[in-house]
Amino acid sequence: MKYKRILLKLSGEALMGSQNYGIDSERLSMYSNEISKVVNKGIQVAVVIGGGNIFRGMQAEKTGIDRVQGDYMGMLATVINGMALQGSLEAHGIYTRLMSGIKMDQICEPFIRRRAVRHLEKNRVVIFGAGTGNPYFTTDSAASLRAIEIEADVVLKGTRVDGVYNADPEKNPDATRFSSISYEEVYQKDLKVMDMTAFTLCKENDLPIIVFDMNTPGNLQRIVMGEEIGTLISM
Ligand code: UDP
């Protein structure tokens, strides 16, 4: 096993599947299945999930709601997704804890680092909801921050593309994929891996990132076993 403790970042948008809003039950179940395979191998798994399928802070400004208010709405959306994933993982027989960056005692625990680590040691999947708990951040930043706090070996950013390309592969058929790349080259080439705040946090703490296609069954397991899948970003 190459990695013992991972932080998996899933976008909220991916949860929509083929729908244009909300949560697609097939996609949700597929993600739980993928996660359960690695948990059953004894890998410690933490998850940060986005909220873009329900609400994004930026979206609020268009409707006349101020940005900060919108960001809090976005954070609540990530808790809804976290609860969905929790429910689905439990249906797959996996023990879970949902921890939130904003206190909501009736539905989840507050984020307490030492507790999160203890849950992981007991092989519970820990889902971090409500992002960082602060406006003006993204769930990518939450993923980097929590990964550093719990001393994860790697951030696995599950997307619908199979890695980082030198151009947008969905627009440019000649785009080529990097199998590995340094943090420095990502800056130089202005590649879109994560937003800069999130990315810099990883770089400064020497936390490797792997961008990979989460929609291909088995990929998550292959990565933790050490197969070179997607794009590895490291020193
Ligand atoms: N958000 C925030 N602080 C955080 C994390 C998220 O304010 O620490 C808000 C922000 O408005 C963001 C929304 O929550 O647009 C949903 O998260 P994100 O857009 O990162 O989700 P994804 O793109 O992964 O679906």
Cβ 224 under 6 angstroms from ligand 1 = no
Ligand 1 atom at minimal distance to the Cα of residue 11: 24
Ligand 1 atom at minimal distance to the Cα of residue 60: 11
Compute CA 158 distance to the chain's CA centroid, rounded to the nearest angstrom: 7
- pTM: predicted TM-score of the whole model, two decimal places: 0.97
The protein residue whose alpha carbon is closest to atom 3 in ligand 1 is 137
The number of residues in the chain equals 235
The string of pLDDT tens digits covering residues 67-100 is 999 999 999 999 999 999 999 999 999 999 999 9
Cβ-contact 14, 27 below 8 angstroms: yes
Cβ 139 under 6 angstroms from ligand 1 = yes
List phi, psi (to 5°) of 70. -60, -40
Average pLDDT, integer, range 91-115: 98
CATH of domain 5-234: 3.40.1160.10
Cβ 215 under 6 angstroms from ligand 1 = no
Ligand 1 geometric centre to CA of 70 (Å): 10
The protein residue whose alpha carbon is closest to atom 22 in ligand 1 is 50
Residue 63 has pLDDT above 90, yes or no: no
Give the helix ranges, DSSP H, for 92-232.
113-121, 139-149, 183-188, 196-204, 219-225
Which sequence spans correspond to the domains of the chain? Answer: 5-234
Quote the pLDDT of residue 61.
81
**How far is the C-alpha of 24 from the C-alpha of 84, rounded, in Å?**
10
The string of pLDDT tens digits covering residues 122-142 is 999 999 999 999 999 999 999
Q: What is the mean pLDDT of the chain?
A: 96
Cβ 52 under 6 angstroms from ligand 1 = yes
Average pLDDT, integer, range 108-114: 98
pLDDT band at 4 (very low <50, low <70, confident <90, very high): very high
